[in-house]
Structure 1
Amino acid sequence: MATIRRRNNKWQSIVRVVGYPQRTQSFTMKADAIAWSKQIELDIQRDLHNLKKIKYPTFKECLERYRDEIIVTKRSKEMESRLVKYILTEGFVNFPINKIDSSMLASYRDRALKSLKSSSVNRRLAIISHMFSIALKEWGYNLDNPVLHIRRPVNPEPRDRRFTKEELHKLLRGNRADPHMKFIIELALETAMRRSEIANIKPEHFTGTMLKIIKAKVKPRTIPLTKRAQQLLKDNLPIRKSANAILMMWKRLMKHYEIEDAHFHDLRHESICRLFTDKNLSVPEAQVISGHLEPRTLLKVYANIKAEDIVHKLG
């Protein structure tokens, strides 16, 4: 049944039907609110598109199937599985998949943005969107993708954190970190490798002047090594810390040395900047080392560095 009430100088119509998500809309005129509620009730009774002829699973069942069949094959399966776990705590997951509409996901987006960054919310929405695409293309459900009809949060600008000489001196010459952690930090600066990529290095991946990165974020790659990187690997393999252990040690170092707003991933950015400033590599050459599929990120780093050079030339 529909409820019509006065709210914030408008007429709000609320339609509640057992087994269907609540529908709410506000209007300037009461007659419009009444007409809208009658139309929604009529649509539900007729169940447009004959959806009652098909027994649709719940959103929860579909998301769990997506996790077990699709996510499990991805390189990012651990991260995406955690995000699925968070999504499954939402109330709307218990509705049939065909009852999930754009207004419900827009409300979920707005709630999530109160406690999460826009990039985190976008990752969750991307999982939901891909699940709907799989349900349509591979599972035989005639569904519209509601994520395509809502505004996606705007991601923040990429981080541009550079380390000072004093900060790097503390990390590489200080007495807080053990020698193996210092090796990992210096290797990240020499190779622009990610934390997980460093943790997964095996002695057989190192061939003297080249290093095979088997487990990468996007796809495996082989990178050329500087002489310093070659020596570091000769002296310190095998890697004796997991990706999580590296992260925990990094956080303790930041706290001990009072270095603010510094992520381990910032070492990768620092290294890429040095490829342009110290090694004078071109964007395609730096791309071979960094593993970026798209050169746009590297072009932005390159453009920022060149802008700083121009300022110095202008005096």
Structure 2
Amino acid sequence: MPFKRKGSPFYQYDLQIGGVRYRGSCGTEDYEEAKAVEAQIRMDVKSGQVNTDRFTLGQAFGTYQHDVISGKSSERTHLSQARAVIGILGSDTPIDKITQADIVQLVTSSRRRVTPATINRWLEHLKRAIEHMGATHAAALPKIDWKRLKQKEPKERIRELSFDEQGRLFHHLREDLHPMAWFALMTGARRETVCTLRWNDIHFDRNRMHLPVKMDKTLIFPMNQEIRELLTNMPRANTPGTRGYVFTYLGTDGSRYPINPTGGYIWVQWRKALSDAEIEDFRFHDLRHTFATRLLRQTGNLKQVSRLLGHESIETTMRYAHVLETDLEDTMNSFSAASPTVSPTLSNNVLKFKD
């Protein structure tokens, strides 16, 4: 009968037929559907119709989830991405039959609903799931030009939260959401990182945190006293299945629940707080920009800021260089080569030139 492995949302099958073992993912979270998938596999094997190098898209995502993503803090996000792709391409589609045109259709049908960055993350997840089946299960793979499919992402604008806006935001933001907003301001962590962070990523004994970042990578982040006090005084989730999450919200039943990074009721509350605080053109991601600009303004060290943001290249961090340029202007406006206290001008006759 179908079964679930710890940490995997999908049912698995493990069959022994004619001395040969067949195992893999049913590609579904529904038990009845999983039983139907297992029964079909059993029939196909007995009739000689099974082809062990061909897998469906649902099986590819399920297997990748089990082999690679299971137990990671980003698991919920990857599951959401898999559902989005399957909703368009279909769970039963053989992966070797997926064409370039199919992926183009996925992209074009999604543009009105999600950003180019989100589409690129979907494509990356799809590519990894398919290639994983080829590498580990010798699956027949489609010929897809992934580079041509990548969407051009608009240049990210820098929006910094002023301290006056910050005060208004926390005044109007519901109190149980304060910790996640403070954490983003203190660390520059992305929305997905904040929502998927677990207590086993926090190491109080070493004053370190392992923050999940893009592409299943981990950023080792130092924990200062301010961050430590925030985390130490936070309430813990007390409902089954949610105790591991650091940032949660308070439900109407008095229990705490994890925050969905991709949308939902909590983000409606976030936007309402911004509206009530009369803060315009501001997103949760701008808390990351605020952290970066404030830190760069205080330290002047672009390389250190780059490392704390988890950027692979310092060129990515250069978008914040305007902070340094502004500081340089302020420095030059207060600088005088003629006197430590007087700034020379043509009118004050401090500098005199001879022919």
TM-score computed with the length of structure 2 as normaliser:
0.59
Aligned length: 255
CA contact (8 A) 1:189 1:271 kept: yes
Q: Partners of 1:74 and 1:231 in 2: how far apart?
A: 23
The answer to which structure has the higher helix fraction is 1
Q: Partners of 1:257 and 1:193 in 2: how far apart?
A: 23
1:161 CA displacement: 1.3
* Residue of structure 2 in register with 1:58 after alignment: 56
1:249 CA displacement: 5.2
1:115-161 Cα shifts (integer Å, max 9, x gaps): 22111111111111112211222211242441436432111222411
Q: Partners of 1:159 and 1:298 in 2: how far apart?
A: 13
Give the residue type in structure 2 aligned to 1:157. Answer: K
* Residue of structure 2 in register with 1:299 after alignment: 318
Which of 277, 284, 302 is the aligned partner of 2:303?
284
Q: Partners of 1:63 and 1:296 in 2: how far apart?
A: 34
Give the residue type in structure 2 aligned to 1:221. Answer: I
Give the residue type in structure 1 aligned to 2:124. Answer: A
The alignment status of 1:213 with 2:231, answered yes or no, reads no
1:266–1:211 distance in 2 versus 1, CA, 3 Å: farther
**Secondary structure at the counterpart of residue 88 of structure 1:** helix
* Residue of structure 2 in register with 1:20 after alignment: none
The alignment yields a C-alpha RMSD, in angstroms, of 3.7
**Secondary structure at the counterpart of residue 138 of structure 1:** helix
* Residue of structure 1 in register with 2:162 after alignment: 164
1:270–1:67 distance in 2 versus 1, CA, 3 Å: same
1:206–1:251 distance in 2 versus 1, CA, 3 Å: farther
1:87 CA displacement: 1.4
1:260-303 Cα shifts (integer Å, max 9, x gaps): 332233222111111111x22412322443344443332322x2
Q: Partners of 1:201 and 1:55 in 2: how far apart?
A: 40
Q: Partners of 1:62 and 1:95 in 2: how far apart?
A: 10
Structure 1 spans left out of the alignment, 5+ residues: 1-51
Give the residue type in structure 2 aligned to 1:267. Answer: L
Structure 2 counterparts to residues 130-169 of structure 1, below 5 A: 130-148=128-146, 150-169=148-167
* Residue of structure 2 in register with 1:250 after alignment: 270
Structure 2 spans left out of the alignment, 5+ residues: 1-49, 237-246, 249-257, 261-265, 334-355
* Residue of structure 1 in register with 2:241 after alignment: none
Structure 2 counterparts to residues 39-118 of structure 1, below 5 A: 56-72=54-70, 74-118=72-116
CA contact (8 A) 2:180 2:194 kept: no
Moved more, 125-134 or 161-170: 161-170
Give the residue type in structure 2 aligned to 1:166. Answer: D
- The sequence identity of aligned pairs, in percent, is 18
1:112 CA displacement: 1.6
CA contact (8 A) 1:211 1:224 kept: yes
Which of 125, 128, 136 is the aligned partner of 1:127?
125
1:151-176 Cα shifts (integer Å, max 9, x gaps): 3211122241112343123135x3x3
1:108–1:238 distance in 2 versus 1, CA, 3 Å: closer
1:96-124 Cα shifts (integer Å, max 9, x gaps): 22221112212221222232211111111
The alignment status of 1:262 with 2:258, answered yes or no, reads no
Give the residue type in structure 2 aligned to 1:88. Answer: I
CA contact (8 A) 2:293 2:323 kept: yes
1:156–1:185 distance in 2 versus 1, CA, 3 Å: same
Q: Partners of 1:257 and 1:248 in 2: how far apart?
A: 14
Q: Partners of 1:163 and 1:220 in 2: how far apart?
A: 24
CA contact (8 A) 2:54 2:140 kept: no
Which of 187, 192, 203 is the aligned partner of 2:188?
192
